[in-house]
Amino acid sequence: MRRLLLILSLILIPAVSTRAADLILPSNPNGNYNNAGGNIVSQGTCTVQSGANVQCRTTYEITLNPGFETMANGAFFAEIDASDTDADGLPDWWEIAYFGNLSKGANDDPDNDQLTNLQEFTYHANPTLFDTDNDTLPDGWEIAYFSNFNQGPGNDPDGDGLTNYQEYLIHSNPTVFNKDNDNDGLEDWWELLYFGNLSQTANADPDGDQLTNLQEFLLGTNPTIRNNPDSDGDGLLDWWELQYFGTLQYGRNDDPDGDGFSNYLEWLAKTNPNDAGSKPKPGSYYEYDAIGRIKKIYKVK
């Protein structure tokens, strides 16, 4: 006698050949079904012993679960079941296993993962689960870009600094190197880090500190926290220095355009500190202290 304790994907139904089969297997067996002592690989008839490791030549890999037993020197006969009663390209055993009936079609997508049932069958996915391997990446997305489920959410196959999960969130291609998918000058990883999406623009100032997102990105500051508008304490607001110099390396008394007027006076006069032809007009310019009192007067003749 034989005792079979098998996983649900194996269907015990009467054989359709002239000889009774011990077990009818799916037409595309996926993985191994182990016996108590090892693997049994067979198609057709093989002589097996209880608890023994037996292999037979075959184009299919067949594996029985722990608990499979035979009599000493008993014969094991396996038959491949390729029945497709409704002729929809999906084997009956597969439809029954996942849906309990044959009502679903090859082009249906009951789990809404962008894979048809036929694709789910082809790629050995679960047609009732949005994410078969439970890695937060939808089945359809993984198959569309990788044609398999080998990639994980934390991988970065294109080396652009974005994980697969981040690429999924922003609808970008995880196989193409691109650090700025929305072409706004802000690298995607930076936008995701601070905003969780790519909705911000380069010129926006969400924290109201007079520094645009692009300026905060270049400075390496947090665009969601109001920063000191004059981080180097030279009396020149950072946004102004960045606008004209692209850096904070110049001081208030420097005169990079050589027009005889310091950066600070050009700041007060609202002239261009990089253009020698842009000079403060004659008059008085006032520097104020923190509470609004006149601290110094600059006179231009």
64-113 per-position pLDDT tens digit: 444 444 433 444 444 445 678 899 999 887 888 899 999 999 999 999 99
Query: Which is more confidently placed, 123 or 27?
Result: 123
Burial 1-39 (b: 16+ CB within 10 A, else e): eeebeeeeebbeeeeeeeeebbbbbbeebeeebbbebeb
Q: Is residue 288 part of a domain?
A: yes
Residue 155: the pLDDT is 94
Residue 93: CB atoms within 10 Å = 21
On the question of pLDDT at 246 being above 70, the answer is yes
Tokens of 284: 């008085």
Give tens-digit pLDDT for 149-164. Answer: 999 999 999 998 889 9
Is pLDDT above 90 for 255?
Answer: yes
266 has pLDDT over 80: yes
Which of 81, 106, 130 is where one domain is finished?
81
User: In which band, very low, low, confident or very high, does the pLDDT at 30 lie, cut at 50, 70 and 90?
Assistant: very low
**pLDDT band for position 5 (50/70/90)?**
very low
Query: How far, in Å, CA of 257 to CA of 271, rounded?
Result: 11
In a domain, 6, yes or no: no
pLDDT on residue 178: 82
12: closest CA among 68, 86, 73?
A: 68
Q: Look at residue 283 and give its three-state secondary structure.
A: strand
- Cα angle vertex 96, ends 93, 100, to 5°? 170
The confidence score (pLDDT) of residue 81 equals: 55
Residue carrying the six token digits 């004209």: 244
What's the longest Cα–Cα distance across the chain? Answer: 114
For residue 180, is it within any domain? no
Q: Is residue 48 one of the residues assigned to a domain?
A: yes
Residue 49 located in a structural domain: yes
Which residue, among 80, 72, 76, 75, has the nearest Cα to 64 in the 3D structure? Answer: 76
Contacts of 18 (CB under 8 A, 6+ apart): none
| Tokens (6 digits) for 290 | 């923190």
* Among 13, 47, 81, residue at a domain's last position: 81
Q: What is the pLDDT of residue 82?
A: 62
Which residues form the domain of 57? 23-81
Q: What percent of the chain has pLDDT over 70?
A: 72
At 180, give phi and psi (nearest 5°): -140, 80
Where does a domain end: 56, 81, 106?
81
For tokens 């010129």, name the residue. 203
Q: Does the structure show a pLDDT above 50 at 33?
A: no
Say if residue 53's pLDDT is above 60: no
Q: Nearest Cα to 143, choosing from 105, 107, 116? A: 116
**Structure confidence at residue 136 as a pLDDT band (50, 70, 90):** very high
* Distance (Å, whole) CA 7 – CA 35: 12
Asked if pLDDT for residue 236 goes beyond 90, the answer is no
Q: Residue 243 is encoded by which pair of tokens?
A: 């606008």
Q: Are 192 and 201 in contact (CB under 8 A)?
A: no
The answer to whether residue 73 sits within a structural domain is: yes
Q: Per-residue pLDDT for 167 more than 80?
A: yes
Burial string for 106-129 (b: 16+ CB within 10 Å, else e) reads bebbebebebbbbbbbeeebebeb
pLDDT averaged over every residue in the chain: 75
Unique residue bearing structure tokens 């990883």 = 189
Higher-confidence residue: 157 or 7?
157
**pLDDT at site 97:** 82
- Asked whether the predicted pLDDT for residue 18 surpasses 50, the reply is no
Q: Which of 70, 99, 69, 79 is nearest to 29 (CA)?
A: 79
Number of domains within the chain: 2
| Structural domain includes residue 243 | no
| pLDDT tens readout for residues 192-224 | 889 988 889 999 999 888 788 988 888 788 898
Q: In what order do the strands lie in the sheet with 74-81?
A: 23-26, 74-81, 44-48
Residue 131 included in any domain: no
Q: What Cα–Cα distance (Å) separates residue 33 from each residue in 8, 149, 197?
A: 11, 21, 45
Residue 126 predicted with pLDDT over 70: yes
Percentage of residues of the chain with pLDDT beyond 90:
35
At 9, which amino acid appears? S
Q: Are 88 and 103 in contact (CB under 8 A)?
A: no
**Which pLDDT score is estimated for 239?**
81
- Given this model, what pLDDT does residue 22 score? 45
Please report where in the chains the tokens 């015990």 appear, as a residue: 12
